Amino acid sequence: MIELIQFPWSPFCIVQRRILEFAGVRFKITNIPSQDRSLVWKLTKQRYYGVPIIKDGRNVVFEINEDSQVIAKYLDEELELGLFPSQWRGVQSVLWRFIENEIEGSTFRLNDIYWKENVPAPEQLDFLRFKERKFGRGCIDQWCKEQKFWLKQLEERLIPFEIILTHQPHLLDDRPRFVDFDLFGMLENFLYSGHYQLPKRHKQIQEWHRRMQTVKHTDFSA
């Protein structure tokens, strides 16, 4: 059985989790503390410490750089999901960079504002230290003060997706492709704390998001 090693609010983990649910296969979730990557380190034979990774029998699958989609492509091939059709290769690789940088830049900050509610107490010290070493002292307090700005920025950066979805049910055509799951993962991370809703003006995104929560591969089989 495929095992997903993750922690629940990670946007990139949510992407792979939803792909596995979409596929309709049985899979196992192993949650690790967000600041303890020893299991990942061990399984990858000291080659990776990020999440998510997956273990499928003897195969341990993980990313090789910031923009690789090794895990999603592995699942796509093994489970024949049609997430990376060749005609959309170029377009998808441009879109996922936008989603994972421009969109994620707003969404993770907005969710991190509520970190004390998400991160279990014993992990909070390491979590805060990790964030402050990466983004500077007091970064989360700063994001808290800037909350309106990040919300506005997210709303604006979602406009192109709202326009696309006015014309078609999914981001590239009439069925979900990888970028649909990618955007879904970032938005689920944004919604994780329960303090936010999707921007009111983005009605098409709201509907698409509702569909993406339950869509199944079998809905599209011939």
Which long-range contacts does 82-86 make (Cβ < 8 Å, 24+ apart)?
82/175, 82/177, 82/217, 82/220, 83/19, 83/176, 83/177, 83/178, 83/181, 84/177, 84/178, 85/177
CB 127, min distance to ligand GSH, A: 10
| CB 166, CB 204: distance < 8 Å | yes
What's the min distance (Å) between Cβ of 190 and ligand GSH? 13
Q: Which is nearer to ligand GSH, 107 or 217 (CB)?
A: 107
Nearest CB to ligand GSH, comparing residues 68 and 168: 68
Nearest distance from C-beta of residue 70 to ligand GSH, angstroms? 8
Which CB, 52 or 176, lies closer to ligand GSH?
52
**Rounded to whole angstroms, how far apart are CA atoms 169 and 8?**
27
Helices (H), 34-88: 38-43, 70-79
| 56 contact partners, CB below 8 Å, separation of at least 6 | 2, 3, 74, 78
Q: How far is the CB of 51 from ligand GSH (least distance, A)?
A: 4
Q: Which is nearer to ligand GSH, 20 or 202 (CB)?
A: 20
* Nearest alpha-carbon partner for 29 in 43, 40, 13: 13
CB 117 to ligand GSH: min, Å: 17
The site for ligand GSH (CB under 6 A) is made up of 10-12, 49-52, 63, 66
Q: How far is the CB of 6 from ligand GSH (least distance, A)?
A: 9
For ligand GSH, the closer of residues 180 and 202 by Cβ is 180
Give residue 199's region: left, alpha or beta (phi > 0; psi -120 to 50): beta
Do residues 42 and 220 touch, judged by C-beta distance below 8 A? no
Nearer to ligand GSH, 10 or 92 (CB): 10
Judge whether 1 and 26 are in contact, CB under 8 Å: yes
Q: Which is nearer to ligand GSH, 21 or 63 (CB)?
A: 63
Could you tell me the smallest distance in angstroms from the CB atom of residue 155 to ligand GSH?
22
